[in-house]
Chain A
Amino acid sequence: MSTQALPTALAEIVDDFQALSEPERLQLLLEFSRGLPELPARLNDHPELLEQVVECQSPLFLTIETEKNDGGSPAFRLFFKAPPEAPTTRGFAGVLHEGLDGLTAEEILAVPDDMPELLGLTRAITPLRMRGMTAMLGRIKRKVAAAARLYA
């Protein structure tokens, strides 16, 4: 699989990971975990609006919102919440946020399901820990697909 099918921002992230050695990749994932934006207050006060991704080894909650674009397809905004004691989960969420936030349904749904494997973390993180990220991406795609049907 190449990065060709990926949206520009996500392809750049994948390239950044691929350019590093394994220990450096973990450091980069840690930076993404620190860079994950906090939830806006309107969501933070309403945890029931977030959906838990149960496949993650730590509690991770996410939700999506749509933003009207002038004349084009709506843009999807992504929101994540993961505890500080789960930096690996937060790091994955940070990658998906930076790579997919603000894109259209078409762009998000075109991302291959096994995209997390492109980050080159499988050996350092172990397959077990990688599954949370695959589940997170799958959940986002399902939610986006369901929301996109409303606009079709």
Chain B
Amino acid sequence: MSYPVEQNEKFAAYAHPERLVSTEWLAAAIDAGALNDGKLVVVESDEDVLLYETGHIPGAVKIDWHTDLNDEVTRDYVEGEAFAALAAAKGISRDATVVIYGDKSNWWAAYALWVFSLFGHEDVRLLDGGRDKWIAEGRALTTDIPSPAVADYPVVERNDTPIRAFKEDVLAHLGKPLIDVRSPEEYTGQRTHMPAYPEEGALRGGHIPTAASIPWARAAAEDGTYRSRAELEALYLGEAGLTEGDDVVAYCRIGERSSHTWFALKFLLGFETVRNYDGSWTEWGNAVRVPIAKGAERGSVPAVAAR
């Protein structure tokens, strides 16, 4: 960890307090000139592709999840070379502390953080509360686009295994805990797409059998910050029934909302093995012969999959 970790009471309760920073901490770090030597890089990653241009945290660079982190042709993330080129262009070196923030309670920021983690970038943190909290507090914004000095970033092979699950992995995982973070209507199968996202639909509605329904936003407070450790435990250990040491897979529709939950489980509650199934419902609900459960009940592991 290259940049000092924030010490505060709320974060200290989490398993990995070093993974979050508050708006106060970031404002102070920027005022102290932390962005000048490249040790600390602030990244904005939003759903809305123009939001950064309307005003952003002074010194922050933009990474667009759709166009920067995804392969243009294959449904996959960029490879090591493209990631190294992107990081270098944004002034991010391998040992830099990266703080990511974005719109919609850090949906896309958490997704970007997860992709950074696929490449093993060591010190990457989320700004608790994201863009909305920064703006709500009346903090500085600018439309000036920084032009950081090109950094040196090595070509690192992406390592998917520890934190990413593919469809086959999920089939093999059936019987172990799964968290479905979509809306209740998507979980039960009433809806085959998220409200307002008809094109991300699926031919079948429902959920992966045995998955617990914990909509992602329940992990966030009104101001977009993560809920306290005690509240998160009530949610995931209580309601979802997870126990310490569980091997967990989270999924949603395309993997972005579940990144937010993945972050909470892995870094805030300290589950060692948490994977994000980014194929999620757009893959599962369109795949041939995978088991699906409908309705509000979790359902059971089908005999065929349990073979």
Contact = CB atoms under 8 A, between A and B. Distances in A.
Contacts of B197: 57, 128
B47 interface: yes
A85 B51 contact: yes
B91 to A, nearest CB: 18
Contacts, number: 53
Interface string A117-151: 00000011111110100000000000000000000
Interface string A77-101: 0000000111111010000000000
A67 B41 CA distance: 54
B169 interface: no
A54 interface: yes
Which size class do A's interface residues fall under?
A: 20 to 34
B10 to A, nearest CB: 26
Given A124-B67, A126-B66, A55 B50 contact: no
Contacts of B66: 126, 128-129
Nearest to B196: A54
Nearest to B72: A123
B49 A55 contact: no
Nearest to A90: B50
Contacts of A127: 199
B33 interface: no
Contacts of A55: 196, 198
Interface of B: 47-51, 53-54, 66-67, 103, 132, 195-200
Kindly list the 10 A-B residue pairs having the minimum CB-CB distance in the complex, ordered from nearest.
A87-B50, A126-B66, A88-B50, A88-B48, A131-B199, A87-B54, A30-B50, A54-B196, A30-B53, A125-B49
29 contacts: A26-B49, A26-B50, A27-B53, A30-B50, A30-B53, A33-B54, A54-B195, A54-B196, A55-B198, A56-B196, A57-B48, A57-B196, A84-B54, A85-B48, A85-B132, A86-B48, A87-B48, A87-B50, A87-B53, A88-B48, A88-B49, A88-B51, A91-B50, A123-B67, A124-B49, A125-B49, A126-B67, A129-B66, A131-B199
